[in-house]
Structure 1
Amino acid sequence: MSNKNKKQFGVWMDSQNATIVGRDEEGETFIVLGHVKNNGAEKNSSENAQNNQEISLTHKFFKEIASIMPNVDEIHITGTGQIQEQFRNFLAETAQYKNAISTDDTSNKMSDENLITFISNHFN
């Protein structure tokens, strides 16, 4: 199977923002498929309640990102912090994505155009 027939995606993410890149309809080039935002938990007098809300919002954030990428064959996750590893674990625990090949690394925030170039170079 050539790379152009595979469902390949790239995600740049930090704990509050994600940009999802995937192949266009013809499978020729990578394009930005969407942006997802996680506003985080509101301040709460109860640390436990705030922590539970943060976990719930992070899970919702991951589900929103995943909904943009149906039928993943390969995914490359990049960004800042440790959120990429948490997202990779989320995908591995989700039946629809558990057989996807995933790789990750760290990178600073980049423009949509630079992300497209970065992901294109990764998969070619």
Structure 2
Amino acid sequence: MSQKNKKQFGVWMDTHNATIIGRKDSDTSEFTVLGHVKNIGADGNSNENAANNQEIALTQKFFKEIAIKMPNIDQIHITGTGQIQEQFMKFLADTAQYKNAESSDSTSNKMSDEDTVAYFEEYFK
């Protein structure tokens, strides 16, 4: 399978935002923004246990919303700030549909959509 026909995706993410980059179809060589996903985060809660459970549930929902925008992944590169990328990679590895995807991660600061597209185009060359 050639590099151009692989279903390659890139995700820039932090704990509250994700930008999903990919090709609209595998025949096109241009990467584009496929979508943005927001994680609203837990609201104020006086019970620490309830707040922790809510945060876990919202993070799982955030990961699922990102994954929906990337069907049939062959390769994915996840970048962003913090440790959320590692958690997302684990989520993908534990999900049957994505467990065979080749994944990698790195750390980077927030970029504009255009810079993010350029970053992933360069990464997947």
Q: Which runs of 4+ in 1 moved over 6 A?
A: none
Q: Where in structure 2 are there 5+ consecutive unaligned residues? A: none
Name whichever of 112-121 and 19-28 sits farther off: 19-28
Give identity over the alignment, percent.
69
Q: Which residue of 2 aligns with 1:114?
A: 115
2:96 is paired with a residue whose SS is coil
Provide TM-score, normalisation by structure 1.
Answer: 0.98
Q: Which residue of 2 aligns with 1:18?
A: 18
Give the root-mean-square deviation of aligned CA atoms.
0.6
Q: Which residue of 2 aligns with 1:88?
A: 89
Deviation readout 1:18-56 (Å, 9 max, x if unpaired): 000001333211000000000100010101000000000
* Count of aligned pairs between the two proteins: 124
Provide TM-score, normalisation by structure 2.
Answer: 0.98
* 2: CA distance, partners of 1:24 / 1:61: 21
Instruction: Give the 5 Å matches for 1:58-97.
Output: 58-97=59-98
Q: Where in structure 1 are there 5+ consecutive unaligned residues? A: none
* 2: CA distance, partners of 1:28 / 1:84: 25
* 2: CA distance, partners of 1:112 / 1:91: 23
Q: Which residue of 1 aligns with 2:44?
A: 43
